[in-house]
């Protein structure tokens, strides 16, 4: 009987900095000037970018898990701090890299950890208008 060992390798990928929409979409401008110029002021055009652009500082307590999350702009660096209110040993702070969402329905933040991207457990949800 042969034993087959299967190894899964985790590959670290360098995380590039967020490219501003004007730069990322500028390659389209030459060929589609009218479309490009009408697109830039839309919510969709600003639905991604650096985390600091849409960060609203505040504290969120998740009662069910006992976790407290703090969004802050610490010295110009957007961060997410977390701590377990029941267990002081579980705490830390993460640097937020990107923001996703136009702000129409909400915004969430992305952070990098050990070469991987993760979505923040905290997101901003906008109230629905009727």
Q: How confident is the model at residue 8 (pLDDT cuts 50, 70, 90)?
A: very low
Please report whether residue 1 resides in a domain: no
Q: What domain count does the chain have?
A: 1
Please report whether residue 72 resides in a domain: yes
Please report whether residue 14 resides in a domain: no
Q: What is the C-alpha separation between 40 and 102, in angstroms, rounded?
A: 12
Q: How confident is the model at residue 96 (pLDDT cuts 50, 70, 90)?
A: very high
- Residue ranges making up the domain that contains 102: 48-125
The DSSP call for residue 107 is E
Please report whether residue 43 resides in a domain: no
Alpha carbons within 13 angstroms on the beta-carbon side of residue 10 total 6
Full-prediction pTM beyond 0.85?
no
Please report whether residue 8 resides in a domain: no
Residue 86 has pLDDT above 60, yes or no: yes
Q: What does the pLDDT average to over 38-47?
A: 77
Predicted confidence (pLDDT) per residue in 43-57, tens digit:
777 777 788 877 888
Please report whether residue 34 resides in a domain: no
Please report whether residue 81 resides in a domain: yes
């Amino acid at each position: 009987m042969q034993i087959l060992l299967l190894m899964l390798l985790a590959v670290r990928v360098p995380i590039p900095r967020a490219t501003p929409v004007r730069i990322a979409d500028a390659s389209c401008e030459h060929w589609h000037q009218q479309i490009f110029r009408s697109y830039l002021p839309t919510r969709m055009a600003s639905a991604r970018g650096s985390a600091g652009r849409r960060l609203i500082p505040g504290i969120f307590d998740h009662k069910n898990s006992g976790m407290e999350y703090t969004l802050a702009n610490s010295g110009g660096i957007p961060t997410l701090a977390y701590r377990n209110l029941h267990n002081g040993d579980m705490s830390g702070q993460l640097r937020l890299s990107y923001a996703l969402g136009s702000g129409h329905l909400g915004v969430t933040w992305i952070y990098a950890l050990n070469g991987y991207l993760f979505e923040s457990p905290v997101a901003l949800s906008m109230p629905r208008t009727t």
